[in-house]
A = this chain, B = another copy of it.
Amino acid sequence: MASTALRVVYNNLIEHVRKYKILQSVNALADWDELVMMPPKGAESRGLQKTVLASLTHDLQTSPLIEKYLSELVTTQDDQKIVVKNDSEFDEYEISNIILIHKEFIRNTKITKELVERASELSSRGYHQWVEARKKSDWTLFQDTLQEWVNIRKEMSLLIEPNQNIADTLLDEYDPGMTCEQVAQVFEDVKKELIPLIQAIRKKVEENPEKYSDASLLAKIQAGADELFDQKEPFPVEKQTELSKQVAQELGFDFEMGRLDVSVHPFSTSFSTNDVRITTRYNTKEFVNGLAGTVHETGHSLYEAGLNPLYAYQPVQSALGTTIHESQSLFWERHVGLSKGFWRKWLPVAEELFPYLKQKKLSVDDIYRSANTVTLNNFIRIEADELTYPMHVILRFEIEKGLLDGSISVADVPKVWNAKVKEYLGLDVPNDAKGALQDVHWSSGAFAYFPTYLLGAMASAQISASIPDFEKHIEENNYAFLKNWLNENIHKRGTVTLTSNKLLKEATGSELNPKIFVNYLKTKYSALYDL
């Protein structure tokens, strides 16, 4: 086929795909409004709006036009790999666009309508069963739902990729190109090193609780019964908002093209690179968590805002899965927001906003230690600190793997869960509400999502380690340098590399390397706990 003719086909394909990508951004607006602005009784009509948007989006996504254009642009090799014909006609962004559109089209067309409806029905029913089960702390009320999800996800995976390991197909949705075997290997390396580190810290805390216990460290920055001021709200929402906005702006969040609001669960979304929106939540008894939430979501939003505007509403202009997305939020939350340099700059600002805090006369070291406390007696993933968090993820990954390969039955999950918490964290789970029922994810069958939280944390450490003079920039709070580095090496590349490992190799010189992450944690926590 002649070059110009191929180009015309490509342009028609992109034009068609742009239309449903824009429609998806409309749906994102409907979601944002629902979580941030919508009055409570608007829920039913919002549901109708989203149903119509989903139906029109699906029509565009499964249009025979896409199949027609793709048949002229790609071919299947003997090894079943999809490749672009005449690939010298296209640049790397265009080739990746074609491959990504093909991949999306397979996912959108192979799964039967009946299966989509079963999944949708189960999501709704499963959520209510999970809420009920957690309330009663009774795993048996949830286990049948989980079994149904295992069955549905297996069916779906086999329709999408009949010749591929099911766990890999599921993982690919959140971390393109990553395999279950790779993850298992990497997590093994992490586990081996962190279990003894956590044990060593526990020993240290037991020896000297006044100096090291969570309670004594956290009390320094929280309001409690001993509060100096007779104030019910020593950290008022409007002052925390002011601090959050100042910090977000300094990190590079542009309020000309974004908003910061409050929602029940912090999140970030975007409708284009010029309209990114984040939310956080505030607790008037302390200010560090709300600020950490803002910094975390700012990291997500800088990624969305930093995507290459040349490829707006094309598949290459999207975040490369949840692993890389999480690497961006955690880069700012942990490697910047938990640093001494950060607190050297922002503690005085916070003290001006909160007279209560000023009275506490904290040193930078106090707040650094307090913000980096290892919460050794915590059972809840979302409340875990940076060091114990990996253990929460690893045990979930191992259980999901067992459920999919049949080596763990749904009925046995709590038993396995509790044994792993004992082994990895040294804790006895008191009940399933604080154990296997604590997270919402499985109620919607979101298998393979959990590992990307840890893969993202590892990637963030690896990225930090490969930025020139990283320590110096952190000490100097040179956020602009950091943001520009991420813009150039991560954000602008979007999904062009197709896999997270290829992006990491390009940006940091190697694929995901657990040693860097482990080394970061060992160095930091050995110093904090005088190991």
- A interface list, Cβ under 8 A from B: 19, 22-23, 25-26, 29-30, 33, 37-42, 44-46, 48-49, 52-53, 55-56, 254-259, 271-272, 274-275, 312-313
With contacts A39-B256, A42-B272, A275-B39 taken as known, whether A49 is within 8 angstroms of B33 at the C-beta atoms is no
Among B42, B257, B313, the residue within 8 A (CB) of A271 is: B42
A275 touches B41 (CB 8 A): yes
A49 and B30 contacting across the interface, CB-CB below 8 Å: no
Minimum CB–CB distance from A213 to chain B (whole Å) comes to 43
Residue of B45, B271, B274 near A275 (CB, 8 A) is: B45
User: Closest CB-CB distance, A79 to chain B, in whole Å?
Assistant: 38
- 30 A-B pairs with CB atoms under 8 Å apart are A19-B52, A23-B56, A25-B45, A25-B49, A26-B49, A26-B53, A29-B30, A29-B33, A33-B33, A37-B37, A37-B259, A39-B255, A39-B256, A39-B257, A39-B259, A39-B275, A40-B257, A41-B254, A41-B257, A41-B274, A42-B257, A42-B271, A42-B272, A42-B274, A42-B275, A45-B271, A45-B275, A45-B312, A48-B313, A49-B271
CB neighbours (8 Å) of A257 from chain B are: 39-42
Name, among A37, A45, A259, the residue most crowded by chain B CB atoms within 10 Å (CB to CB). Answer: A45
**CB-CB < 8 A to A259: which residues of B?**
37, 39
**Chain B residues whose CB sits within 8 angstroms of the CB of A271 once the complex forms:** 42, 45-46, 49
Chain B nearest CB: distance from A35 CB in Å?
Answer: 13
Residue of chain B at shortest CB distance from A59: B56
Contact residues in B for A40 (Cβ distance below 8 Å): 256-257
Residues from chain B with Cβ under 8 Å of A45 in the complex: 25, 271-272, 274-275, 312
In the complex, A186 Cα to B410 Cα: how many Å?
77
Question: What 6 A-B pairs have minimum CB-CB distances, sorted nearest first?
Answer: A45-B272, A42-B275, A41-B257, A41-B274, A22-B52, A26-B49
Closest-CB distance, A24 to chain B (whole angstroms): 10
Query: Within the assembled complex, what's the spacing in Å between the Cα atoms of A31 and B163?
Result: 47
A499 to B: closest C-beta gap in Å: 28
| Complex: A112 Cα to B267 Cα, angstroms | 44
Residues of B near A48 (CB, < 8 A) are 22, 272, 313
Partner of A26, one of B37, B52, B254: B52
Inter-chain contact A26/B22, CB cutoff 8 Å: no
Residues in B whose Cβ lies below 8 Å from that of A44: 272, 274
A428 to B293, CA, bound (A): 61
A312 to chain B, nearest CB (A): 8
Residues of the B chain whose Cβ atoms lie less than 8 Å from the Cβ of A272: 42, 44-45, 48
Give Cα A41 to B39, complex, Å. 26
Residues of B within 8 A of A26 (CB): 26, 30, 49, 52-53
Point out the residues of chain B lying under 8 angstroms from A56, CB to CB. 23, 56
In Å, the complex CA distance between A5 and B330 comes to 61
Within 8 Å CB of A19, what residues of B? 52, 55
Chain B residue numbers with a CB within 8 Å of A25 are: 45, 49
**Could you say which residues of chain B place their CB within 8 Å of the CB of A275?**
38-39, 41-42, 45-46
Alpha-carbon distance between A405 and B187 when the two chains are bound, in angstroms: 81
How far does the alpha carbon of A275 sit from the alpha carbon of B49 in the complex, in Å?
A: 12
Chain B residue at smallest Cβ distance from A277: B39
Q: State in angstroms the CA–CA spacing of A275 and B258 once bound together.
A: 24
| CB closest chain-B residue, reference A271 | B45
A23 partner residues in chain B, CB cutoff 8 A: 52-53, 56
Complex CA distance for A313 and B48, rounded to whole angstroms: 10
Chain B positions within 8 Å of A312 at CB level: 45
Point out the residues of chain B lying under 8 angstroms from A33, CB to CB: 29, 33
| Bound Cα distance from A37 to B275, whole angstroms | 11
How far apart are the CA atoms of A438 and B259 in the complex, in Å?
Answer: 34
Nearest chain-B residue to A273 (Cβ)? B45
Nearest-neighbour CB distance to chain B for A236, whole angstroms, equals 14
Q: Which residues of B contact A274 (CB under 8 A)?
A: 39, 41-42, 44-45
Cα-based distance from A427 to B41 in the complex (angstroms): 50
A46 to chain B: which residues have CB within 8 Å?
Answer: 271, 275
* A267 vs chain B, min Cβ distance (A): 16
Task: Report the separation of the CA atoms of residues A142 and B405 in the bound assembly, to the nearest whole angstrom.
Answer: 74
Closest CB of chain B to A514's CB: distance in Å?
39
CB proximity of A97 to chain B, nearest CB, Å: 18
Q: Establish whether residues B41 and A256, one from each chain, have CB atoms under 8 Å apart when the complex forms.
A: yes
A25 to chain B, nearest CB (A): 6
Tell me the complex Cα distance, A44–B25, Å. Answer: 13
Q: A44-B272, A274-B42, A275-B42 are in contact. Are A49 and B29 (CB under 8 A)?
A: yes
Contacts of A258 in B (CB 8 A): 39
Q: How far is the CB of A143 from chain B (nearest CB, A)?
A: 37
Please give the distance in Å from A171's CB to the nearest CB on chain B: 31
Cα distance, A19 to B49, chains bound together (Å): 9
Residues of B within 8 A of A39 (CB): 255-259, 274-275
